[in-house]
Amino acid sequence: MLNLNRRKGTNMRKLTLSAMLVVLALMVVAVTWGFARPETRPADLLEILPDGGGVAVIDFQKITGSALWTTVSAKQKLTGVIDKAQSEIADLGLKLSDVRTIVLVFPAANLNNPTVAINGGFDQKDLLERLRSSSKVKLTSDKYKGFDVYTAKSVPPSDSQSPSGSTSANAATVRNETSFAFRDANTIVVGATEAVRASIDVMTGARQSITQNSQLADGLAQNPSAAIRFAIVVTRSMTNGLQSSELPMPDFSSLKLIYGSIDVASGIELSATLRSDNAESARTIADRLNGLLGMARGYLGAANNPKSTPIVDALKAVSITSSNNDVKITGSFPADLLSSLFASAERKSQ
């Protein structure tokens, strides 16, 4: 009986996670986020990135200028996350305050290792000087089709210079590396060396940009003013990874495209569309997702745990419907609900 209860608890936790992922996974953003200078529009950034299987456009200034950002910045736990992100990108010579717009393009094969275009108020000379003077990074460069391609290799702390100026015998050992190139003084393309070179191929006309991908372009165009927009071409490997032998997950194999947006003001407005290849499959997916959502609400509600109440309220704010070949997922999370979620997260961490 004890093992059965444990298994039931494990399955319900997986059920809750699965239902929440439908709503929240798209909100998980690893936050990588003046002088009057010419602004580069998101469309311009898209025009210098190679085609891929997924794309996200982040209006970072809209996020940081929102009332929601003020609320987030006041939460101790979330402030720690922001400070950590600032510290990590500082190793690459960037500051969060530099950034205006970020565009990420993911390879067709998976959603890892994106090519990133960043537009901001940074200064090219200053950024390079910061990198060259950093003991945490080794900066090298080479030429590709007339562009300087820089590679920043992070040096393990044990290999950094000692106060005497000497380095250890393992100074050549590095943890990882990131390449980048400047499209202009205020626009940087960042990624693996091959990805940065592919972007240069786009700039020189030797390769197609992601703007020529009509599926992704149409998905991004649905809500052009949102703080975050995304579109993903769904592959079989992605849908296979969503299957579960323990939960009644929908059959996602008919999905061809996912697109949507996350907008911010004092709260968060989420909209996502899962496009199937036929209306019957879309209805079945919506019904199954609604079932999972209802089960998660019921499980958490029955637990009578005050810490779970904000999560239950968040799940109640989600709507899942089908229309023709599309499954529509929407959620409206006002400021008071988000404040409750943030407070609950901080209490759990204490």
pLDDT in tens, 108-142: 877 888 999 999 887 888 889 888 988 888 999 99
**How many Cα atoms occupy the beta-carbon half-sphere of 262 within 13 Å?**
21
CA dist 229 → 140, 223, 321 (Å) = 34, 7, 20
pLDDT at 14 over 70: no
Whether pTM > 0.85 for this model: the answer is no
CA distance 174 to 72: 34
Question: What residue segments make up the domains of the chain, in order of their start?
Answer: 21-85+96-114+207-349
CA dist 330 → 85, 204, 272, 326, 333 (Å) = 29, 40, 6, 13, 10
If pLDDT is split at 50, 70 and 90, which confidence band does 243 have?
Answer: confident
Kindly state the tokens that stand for 16.
Answer: 């809750």
Sequence-ordered alpha helix ranges (H) in the chain: 2-24, 42-46, 60-64, 67-73, 76-90, 124-133, 193-203, 214-220, 236-240, 279-302, 309-316, 335-349
CA distance 193 to 179: 5
pLDDT at 87 over 60: yes
